[in-house]
Amino acid sequence: MIKSPQILHKTLIYITLPALVLETFWKLELKSSYLKLTLAALTIVLICAGISFILSSFFNFQKISRGSFIVTSAHANTGFLGYPICFYFFGLPGLAYAVFYDLGMFLSLLTLITFISIYYRNGKTSIFVGLKNYLTFPPLVALLLGSSLYYLDINAPDFIFTTLHYVGLVSLPLVVLSLGLVLELSAIRKSVMPAIAVSVIRLIVSPIIGVVVATMFDIIDLGKNIAIVQAAMPSGLMPLVLAVYYKLDLKLVSAAIFLSTILSFITLPLIFILISK
Q: What domains sit in the chain, N to C, each tagged with a CATH number? A: 3-276 (1.20.1530.20)
Rounded-to-integer distance, Cα 195 and Cα 59, Å: 12
Q: Give how far the C-alpha of residue 159 lies from the chain's centroid of Cα atoms, to the nearest Å.
A: 29
Q: Give pLDDT, residue 231.
A: 96
Torsion of CA 41, 46, 50, 56, to 10 degrees: 70
Ramachandran bin of 29, using left for φ above 0, alpha for ψ from -120 to 50, beta for the remaining angles: beta
Q: Give pLDDT, residue 157.
A: 86
Q: Give pLDDT, residue 45.
A: 96
- Identify the CA nearest to 246 among candidates 2, 3, 10: 10
Rounded-to-integer distance, Cα 125 and Cα 120, Å: 8
pLDDT in 10s for each residue of the chain, 277 residues: 444 556 776 777 788 878 877 877 777 665 555 788 989 999 999 999 999 999 998 888 889 999 999 999 999 988 778 877 887 888 777 777 887 888 889 889 888 998 898 888 866 555 565 566 666 777 778 878 887 888 888 888 888 888 888 887 777 677 667 666 655 555 566 788 999 999 999 999 999 999 999 999 998 888 899 999 999 999 988 888 888 888 898 889 989 998 998 899 899 999 999 988 7
- Which neighbouring-strand residues pair with 235? 76
- Which neighbouring-strand residues pair with 76? 235
- Identify the CA nearest to 240 among candidates 71, 95, 50: 71
